[in-house]
Structure formats: C-alpha cells, structure tokens
Amino acid sequence: MSASAVDAFRLLQPQKEFFLSELSPWNSGQLRFSCKPGSWSALQVLDHVVRTERGILAEMQKNVQRCEGVPFVQRFRGDLLIQLMRSPARVQVPRSVARFILPGDALDLAELAAAWNDSQAKLGQWVAEVREDQTAYAGFRHPVSGWMSVLQGVLFLAAHVRHHRYQLGRIRRSAGWKRAG
C-alpha cells in the first residue's frame, strides 16, 4: 500500500462530502437551474464530476500495468494544472474528452450521489492496493498537461471536485437561483 496515494485519496473524500452537503438543501428547481442557456446546472456539474472520476480511475487501472514513468516536463505541467484546478478560474472541458465526461440531462441527485459513492469506493479500494513505486507510474493522459502520475491523478481528482465547488457557488449566487423551483 502506498501511504502517499492513500493520503491523496483522503483529500478527495472531504471534497465529495462538502460538495454533496452543499447540494442537499437545494430544491429540485435549484438543482436544475442554470445561470444562462448552455451553462450547467448543479446536477450536470455533479454528473460531470462523477463521469470524470470514473474515467480517470479506469485509465489509471489500465495504464499502471505498463509501468512507465512520466517525463519531468509533463509532471511539472500536471502539477500546474492541479494548482489551476484548485482555483475558481473558469476552464473549458477539453474537446478530446468531451464525449466521455460531458453531463447528461436525465439526472437525479440521489442516483448521482449513489454513483459517486460507488465510484469513490472503487477508487479507494484501488488506491489501497497501489504500491508506493507505482505512484510515479503514468496514470492517465490529461489532454492539456499530458501524462500525470498515479499520485497526480488522485490529487487532480480532489482539485477537480474543489474546482467545481466554486462553480456551485456561482450558480447559487445567480439572481434566478433563489426563485428557481
């Protein structure tokens, strides 16, 4: 078991709990409210977060078997991207992965929360099995920064959830949110 990967996973768990606790008092209309046409609702943000976590886990499970390292430049770019994702800066979903991680339309908070709990249980189980030497292996290739190590992949997931909590705040502060529902 890798202590560093488990520690990184422990950063992700409270982000999920904060995210879901922010949504729990929202009514159905508020959960489906989007600030403007083409922007995401809170349920769509949640769906995107779950899809992203599942996709990255699947990629890491597959790629760690190759036992390949990550070049320094890509590790550095990955660290920069993780820092960006910890900020409220708005970013676009990279086109090359949009079909996998863009949210759907028929969404339910309870179903998405259950899916996220399932995804995180699988991620936690896998992280507990990762050896320390495997944390430096190429985990997944982000379309912007390039390859990220397994450890960076888990840190990215925590930063990704934090990033989308800022998005929930923007939705909640929107003029029409209180009237929704």
- Beta-carbon contacts of 100 under 8 Å, excluding residues fewer than 6 positions away, are 51, 55
CATH architecture, domain defined by 3-173: Up-down Bundle (1.20)
**Residues forming a β-bridge with 140:** 148
Say yes or no to pLDDT of 28 above 80: yes
Residue-wise pLDDT tens digits, 94-132: 888 888 888 887 789 999 999 999 999 999 999 999 999
CA gap 152, 82 in Å, rounded: 8
Query: Which one, of 172, 13, 161, lies nearest residue 85 by Cα?
Result: 161
CA gap 110, 179 in Å, rounded: 22
Q: Which pLDDT belongs to residue 170? A: 96
